[in-house]
Structure 1
Amino acid sequence: MDKNKEKRPSFVKRFLRQTPHAITMLFGIIVLVSVLTYILPAGSYDRVLLNGRNVVVPNSYKIITSTPIDFLGLFKAIPLGFKSAADIIFVVFAGAIMFAFMEKSKAVENSVGTLLKKMGFGRKHLLIVIFTFIYGFLGVAVGYENNIAMVPIAAVLSLALGGDLILAAGISVGAMTIGFGLSPINPYTVGTGHKIAELAMFSGYGLRSVLCFIALSSMAYYNVRYFKKITKNPEKSLGKGLDEEGISLSKPIQEYSVTANNWLVLSIFLMGLAVIIYGVFNLNWYLIELSAVFLIIALLCGIVSRMGATLMSETVLKAVSLAAPGAFMVGFATTIKVLMEMGNIGDTISYNLALLLQDMSLYTSAISMAVSQSVINFFIPSGSGQALATLPVMLPLGETLGLTRQTTILAFQIGDGISNLVNPTLGGLIAMLAMCRVPLDRWLRFIFPMVLVLLLMSCVALIVAVATGYN
């Protein structure tokens, strides 16, 4: 056998090695969307107000006057994207500032170091599995952007275990994205979908829970497998050259202990998280309030750690400088959403994808519905926004094809949830990767094989749903 052929990398690996830089990739999409405004007709559905939200009226699509994006408009959309994403951009800065103060106090480092000292390095793989499920549970039960402050802790843990920042993103960002995207109680996708479909809230949770658990288990296995690979051969690490300043352990593991001041800092952090969770679920808090609480936590941590005014000021500017590339990516990615709105082609894409499903078989239509929602997710990255824009069209279409409403919502959730792992227009994903200091192009190289596995699992779930008349 030819040894060169035997060692030749797979098509997927060759494809991923050619992944362009994140800025190049996003600018290419920005140009593509601008070109599409000249090719696709502008169109719009009628919308009605339902429970305070604009919902699409089925069979109301109509062609409207085209509004193609000219050369100047393309570049005007970039600052408009930053303006639209201001809330997410600032939460990246606020989260980075908060973590920088906690890092200065050594509370996180000492806590992780002490945990490893007590559990021992012989349980590295178990720790990766446990923390993958912890972050997955946060995604299931708490939400997505609400958990941004937890991401840097995974970075400290991963480096302490001998992993890299890519593994940290797998443990935290990967698990939270899967947990949130496939959550049986996701209020933004499943909840909104059930309201539109007039089904009992979060009904059909059995199949969704099984799919979510299997997906998180697969992510845990994938993380352990990657960790084993880079431990055996550090040259295969996708995290080579990434900035690890301030998040790696600075002394031998045996020397770690948690001081009284560390406990105080951690208590402030945990109380802040409790306040955030209460505010999210009871007071409709979102990114602005989260940013405010992050800054309050940072200030209190600086005070109890007896930092002087100069040190606190330097810590803020250092944190901002480290978070700036990720914050820039959030605004740059949001440009795509702005261009879609300027060109009025979002509804046109949704309408034509729905037309493609009409002549398909039952099983094929269910899977194709999930694929079409994945495509739409790149143009409407908001879960609830996508539900309001597409489900009023997809639900009647699904019933015409012979799909239950529950199956249509499952296909929508799968398409939205799994594509979130690789969606460059999703501000929350870009923000969390920024907190791990992981560029989008390296993340895509890491997570893409996992996305293929999850899509295969999801197709099986949809086949089961169709076969059983899932309701």
Structure 2
Amino acid sequence: MLRALSRPATRLMERWLPDPFIFVIVLTLLAAVAAIVTQGTSPVALVEMWGNGFWALLQFAMQMLLVLVTGFILASSPPVKRLLAAIAGLATSRGSAIILVSLVSLAASWLNWGFGLVVGAIFAKELARQIRVDYRLLVAAAYSGFVIWHGGVSGSIPLTIATEGHFTAEQIGVIPTSETIFSAWNLVIVLALVIAVPLVNRLMMPLEHEQVLVDPAKLDGTASSRRLPVDATPAERLENSMILMWLIGVPGLVWLAFYFAGGGGINLNVVNFLFLFLGILCHGTARSLLGALEEGVRGGAGIVIQFPFYAGIMAIMTDSGLAASLSEWFVSISTAQTLPFWSFISAGIVNIFVPSGGGQWAVQAPVMLPAAEALGADIRRVAMGVAWGDAWTNLLQPFWALPMLGIAGLKARDIMGFCVVQLLITGIIIGVLLYLL
């Protein structure tokens, strides 16, 4: 049944889903029209909001570009290639390859969302080198594991409300992660997804004659260190010096050791720092490292051009009051029992336009928290409802898929048909469990 469902979904997306750049332009226009019609925002004010917010994600865009590049650098190094090949060797069939990449992506995304995006993509490529399996589904399976991130240890909303002095601390106090991320009911949702996501991906696997395969030779990077000629110049010797790489790489790892020993947590900057300095040591020479860098940067064009447009959409949604109005409507039809569920649904819709967990919480918390108090709802489950909604519709929103697609060498339309099926099934699982638990 799922295979039959995935066929028309895949054909529909391949035919009608445009490049993510067109998608973001359409979302911009939709947000603008909705703000004018529902909020009474004037066109002049709308343009000012959009332009003022256009560059608000510059730091984040650079971080995401580095997720792609540093992850690719590390993955293309000889030691990591050998490790990935060994793990991929555990897959002995097409079905086991799909299940394995799903589980690896789920585990990595639960630990850290940036780590999950990179590891899932590079592991999918390695599996495609060894197993003749539909490459689109491999990458879609890797991306589907991302649905779990906001219920994991890098979830921005539960980490925010667990931090002393957060912006709603006077209203709800500090809620430890033991009552959100590590609560029994949240772990039940995580476990249900760990079981369901790989199973759904496996059941969507096309028949052998329907597969879209990729030539393994096209997945091999061109980055490699050249053999040093006998008459090498001093510049060439420096470019191929392992000593220089160790002199800079080891201090980087020492700093990380001090950072974690001092109680530092995992964030995007730390992940990028770790990938980069491990990549420096694993490549061994600057020439090998720079070859991988040149190849990795090619996949980052979408991030560079699209993230400013998403920042503009976020500004329209938040400054016009559109996101808050949408949340208020869902609150108006909620009870204490159903508010976590409707928080999940509303967050999923808002996430299409505001694909940022932290930014979304800033928009929805002023609406959801007073409603939870007035209705007597569980604030912890309401907050996690917003978190899960933010993670859920990432399966439809190509914003977060860009780094993975850049590494895998695919377009959004190649994987979104499979992701839509996962969207439907994971939405039912998360929504039902938020309502019942």
TM-score if structure 2 supplies the norm length? 0.74
SS of residue paired to 1:385: helix
Partner residue of 1:412 out of 383, 386, 391: 386
The match for 1:163 is 133
State yes or no: 1:380 paired with 2:380.
no
Query: What is the identity, as a one-letter code, of the residue corresponding to 2:21?
Result: I
Whole-angstrom CA distance in 1 between matches of 2:216 and 2:23: 19
Query: What is the identity, as a one-letter code, of the residue corresponding to 1:167?
Result: L
Preserved CA contact (<8 Å) 1:66 1:343: no
Whole-angstrom CA distance in 2 between matches of 1:283 and 1:162: 42
The match for 2:235 is none
Query: What is the identity, as a one-letter code, of the residue corresponding to 1:451?
Result: L
Whole-angstrom CA distance in 2 between matches of 1:381 and 1:417: 9
Alpha carbons of structure 1 residues 404 and 332: separation in structure 2 relative to 1, 3 Å: same
SS of residue paired to 1:67: helix
Matches within 5 A, 1:37-48: 37-41=35-39
Please list the CA deviations of residues 226-282 of structure 1 after superposition, one character each: whole Å capped at 9, or x if unmatched.
44x25x22x343x6699943169xxxxxxxxxxxxxxxx9xx99x969949965994
Deviation at 1:370, TM superposition (A): 1.5
Partner residue of 2:65 out of 73, 77, 89: 89
Whole-angstrom CA distance in 1 between matches of 2:91 and 2:372: 53
Matches within 5 A, 1:20-169: 20-41=18-39, 67-69=45-47, 85-100=61-76, 102=77, 105=78, 107-115=79-87, 119=90, 121=92, 125-126=95-96, 128-140=98-110, 142-151=111-120, 152-169=122-139
Alpha carbons of structure 1 residues 221 and 352: separation in structure 2 relative to 1, 3 Å: closer
Partner residue of 1:448 out of 420, 424, 435: 420
Deviation at 1:299, TM superposition (A): 3.0
How many residue pairs get matched? 397
The match for 1:46 is none
Query: What is the identity, as a one-letter code, of the residue corresponding to 2:179?
Result: S
Preserved CA contact (<8 Å) 2:98 2:138: no
Preserved CA contact (<8 Å) 1:159 1:165: no
Alpha carbons of structure 1 residues 171 and 90: separation in structure 2 relative to 1, 3 Å: same
Whole-angstrom CA distance in 1 between matches of 2:33 and 2:261: 39
The match for 1:316 is 293
Query: What is the identity, as a one-letter code, of the residue corresponding to 1:300?
Result: L
The match for 2:325 is 351
Whole-angstrom CA distance in 2 between matches of 1:36 and 1:276: 49
Task: State the identity %.
Answer: 14
Matches within 5 A, 1:70-469: 85-100=61-76, 102=77, 105=78, 107-115=79-87, 119=90, 121=92, 125-126=95-96, 128-140=98-110, 142-151=111-120, 152-175=122-145, 177-183=146-152, 185-193=153-161, 196=168, 197-198=172-173, 199-203=175-179, 205-227=183-205, 229-230=206-207, 232-233=208-209, 235-237=210-212, 244-246=218-220, 275=256, 279=260, 282-283=263-264, 286-303=267-284, 309=287, 313-321=290-298, 323-328=299-304, 331-341=305-315, 345=319, 347-360=321-334, 365-426=339-400, 429-465=401-437
The range that moved more, 439-448 or 385-394, is 385-394
Deviation at 1:28, TM superposition (A): 1.4
Deviation at 1:164, TM superposition (A): 4.1
Partner residue of 1:18 out of 16, 24, 36: 16
Alpha carbons of structure 1 residues 126 and 301: separation in structure 2 relative to 1, 3 Å: same
Deviation at 1:27, TM superposition (A): 2.0
Preserved CA contact (<8 Å) 2:151 2:186: yes
Alpha carbons of structure 1 residues 242 and 446: separation in structure 2 relative to 1, 3 Å: farther
Deviation at 1:336, TM superposition (A): 2.0
Alpha carbons of structure 1 residues 130 and 351: separation in structure 2 relative to 1, 3 Å: same
Deviation at 1:448, TM superposition (A): 0.6
SS of residue paired to 1:85: helix
Whole-angstrom CA distance in 1 between matches of 2:428 and 2:350: 19
Whole-angstrom CA distance in 1 between matches of 2:197 and 2:415: 14
Deviation at 1:144, TM superposition (A): 0.8
Please list the CA deviations of residues 417-467 of structure 1 after superposition, one character each: whole Å capped at 9, or x if unmatched.
2122222344xx4223322223222222221111100111122113313xx
Contiguous gaps of at least 5 residues in structure 2: 223-245
Deviation at 1:335, TM superposition (A): 1.3
Deviation at 1:416, TM superposition (A): 1.4
Deviation at 1:403, TM superposition (A): 2.5
Deviation at 1:76, TM superposition (A): 9.4
Whole-angstrom CA distance in 2 between matches of 1:296 and 1:30: 38
Contiguous gaps of at least 5 residues in structure 1: 1-6, 44-63, 249-264, 466-471
SS of residue paired to 2:220: coil
Alpha carbons of structure 1 residues 308 and 399: separation in structure 2 relative to 1, 3 Å: closer
Whole-angstrom CA distance in 2 between matches of 1:319 and 1:360: 47
Whole-angstrom CA distance in 2 between matches of 1:447 and 1:454: 10
